[in-house]
Amino acid sequence: MAVTPVFTCLCGIQKKSTNHWVLASVTPSGISFMPWDWRLAQSDDIIVLCGEGCAASLLSRSLGEWKQASPIEPELAVTR
């Protein structure tokens, strides 16, 4: 018997067949979203999201991390 995997969104909701879930992939070079794919969803590096709301919050969180990670522009550090 095959084990049915349980997909859980970042917000804690578990996937049911009727939900319109999406997938996200966060890499060192950026973030990408893709339509739900049952096989892809089982990958370790794929984030499962229950919908547009959670996809948006993941995106804004990533944008916040990019801002923190970006170094200070050299010209802004120069005092006149």
Q: By CB under 5 A, name the binding residues for Zn ion.
A: 9, 11, 13, 50, 54
Residue 53 or 64: the one with the smaller Cβ distance to Zn ion is 53
Q: Which is nearer to Zn ion, 18 or 68 (CB)?
A: 18
Q: How far is the CB of 13 from Zn ion (least distance, A)?
A: 5
Pairing of strands 46-49, 30-35: unpaired
Give the rounded distance of the alpha carbon of 76 from its chain centre: 31
Query: 28 by DSSP, 3-state: which?
Result: coil
Contact 50, 11 (CB under 8 A): yes
Residue closer to Zn ion by CB (options 13, 26) is 13
